[in-house]
Amino acid sequence: EEEEEEVMAAGSRHTVFGRALQAGSLHWSDTHLQRILASDSYGPSLTGTMGSEKPTFDPQGRPLWLGEPFPTACARVDTLRAHGYPRQALRLAGAIVNTLRLQRRHQLESYKQQKKELLQKGNTCITNTEGWVGHPLDPIGCLCRALLEACRLEEETLALYPDSGPEKRKAAYQHVPVP
């Protein structure tokens, strides 16, 4: 396990085999994850303290999911959708989006504080070191599909991206609040 942690800490570039090993060690038994998946109304008042150094809720009381890297978390969303758990996928997608929103807010605050220093070094932004566009796990696509699927009108029974058929219909969407 120590070697795995060293490899993970050494850099964020992962090989295909590294991703497979990481995926093989995923589990679904995390208490916070289970509560996110189980309820639309999961909030800090229902949990007390989780005993973790990582925050589990944003300042508005919405759940966060910091249990793994963003692409892996999005792969969980895709897995839930693929195995017939669209509500749970939507709940987890919401927690991931809340997490991204909070992380971006913190990065912006940090950037504002360090702006002069960063500009002197030639850096103009703070970014993640592993790109998400074109990522093998397609994290952005996973989140988009989960969120769009939740907004499809009930009469729409076609897949989100139908392979085809003689009749091509425009998908109809409606606004749906995310849990």
Domain boundaries, the chain: 30-151
pLDDT tens-digit profile of 51-85?
A: 567 789 999 899 999 888 888 899 999 999 999 99
Q: What is the mean pLDDT of the chain?
A: 77
> Can you tell me the distance from the alpha carbon of 43 to that of 61, in angstroms, rounded to the nearest whole number?
6
Nearest one of 101, 72, 93 to 179, comparing CA atoms: 93
> Can you tell me the distance from the alpha carbon of 96 to that of 117, in angstroms, rounded to the nearest whole number?
31
On whether the CB atoms of residues 88 and 80 are closer than 8 A, the answer is: yes
